[in-house]
Structure 1
Amino acid sequence: MSKANTTVAPSGEELVFTRPASLVDRPTHYCPGCHHGIAHRLVAELLDEMGVIENTIAVASIGCSVFLYNYIDADGVESPHGRAPAVATGVKRARPDKFVFTYQGDGDLASIGMAEIIHAANRGERISVVFINNTVYGMTGGQMAPTTLIGQKTTTCPAGRCLEREGAPIRMAEIIAHLGGTAFCARGSLDSVKNIRQAKKYMRQAFEVQAKGFGFGFVELLSGCPTNWRMTPVAANKRIADEMIPYFPLGVYRDVVADGTCGSMVAGGE
């Protein structure tokens, strides 16, 4: 909980859960049960708690993630589809004093943006990435994404994704963790209070490795898309727990601070 979450109401009662200062006070346009709103709140809480909001530049790509600028009270840049890591790289290199992060979905980052995310991580760019994995293209109507699970039905694979025809769903956290410039990589989930709290801890670590100059930070968040999954929000949360987490295991995949190699990351940087 951010420091901005404790205040006193006009009645004199202490309010212990309020809107983070960096989260814009406006109605959400996201569908009922969508987890983007939870992810936005976690981002805002961390920017407040770390004291970097005034020095932040957010970069969002095409997709549901692009509307980040409507909700986070920070300077922002919109990038072409999949190119957020490349844009963020340019911003960070031009203004190394800024805190720079990207906010991207799986239809963006893991598909048309695969080259950009791979090479940004491999170079060890001093940026942080928040990756929303809801196993579907959300904004464009529910098409199959690189992360769509085997058997999952979408508008472009109505009979369900087939391993022989479309290949296996891509596990991005595992890929990013093995690249030389990655300083922190983890996967969390937004399906339960327990997992949301843990996801925030992972996000903080991904942000802190940038702030400390250690390298590239990446956090994947398993999220629900009830509208395109044709499910209720409750059923969508259950699907994350029963189907997504077994295939996309939660946890830390790389942490140079914990394994004691952060010194070499700094030494090898620009």
Structure 2
Amino acid sequence: MLKTWYAQRIMQRSRHSKALKDLPPSLYDYWKSSARNEYHGIPADAVFFARATIGLLDFFECAAQGKGACALPSKAADSVWHAWLRLSPLKLEVFCRKHFGRTVPHVEGETMGGNLDEALAVCLVRARQAEGLHREGPRLPSLFLLDKKLKMPFGFGYAVKRGQPGYSQLDASGRFDPMISCPPQMAAAGLLGAGLITAAQFNDFEERARRLAATSSDGSSGSACGSGCGSSIDCGDSSSSCDSSGSSCGSSCGSSCGSSCGGGGD
């Protein structure tokens, strides 16, 4: 009962509170009974569902903003999406049109085309913007931290090291592996090259990085770098664990490449 009450409070305080009132009444019970068959070890309590659903709406907001592929960085959110698609796909389309202005098609990783890291970069910039963060970074928005926060079994753990986002797959208990891959598409220079940020925003990022480096050299903690700063994360050669064609990302939703499917527009 306490978790149910807390889950309701989480939804009421969300910026998506109005949309959350339109969730199918049976979605939670259906997700609770079916998600564990697809996502082994997933927690099936009301608080997990509330946070995962809010993450899914964060993603719908990002995917509906423009054309092209937008990859979902959370398996927890994807678990709700899958349940909703099985339960009432037509009502999901109506929900998205009402609250986000358009439908958000569920696209398997193998059919998204192009590079999933590029689609993740699109989602990253849009999610940062939605939360009032600098589009160029380095801080990560809540959608990208969701699986690690919820300890989603085999989910995607994101962190920041030296100003660059990276990810690794969580283990069966939802524990984070600090040996992350840092795709260049998600770094500030990659965002600039893809036209996702402006030259002025990139220059601002570089200036903040220089100021942080100078402060850190004076013995400061450097806390302005964000929650992932200072952790034992090794970005290695800053290369992605997926190749440029996306062929090493697996044949189905939920690959090891930092994304669990996505949505795209024409």
Instruction: Compute the TM-score of the two structures, normalised by the length of structure 2.
Output: 0.29
Greater relative contact order: 1 or 2 (C-alpha under 8 angstroms, separation 6 or more)? 2
Query: TM-score, normalization: structure 1?
Result: 0.29
**Structure showing the higher strand proportion among its residues:** 1
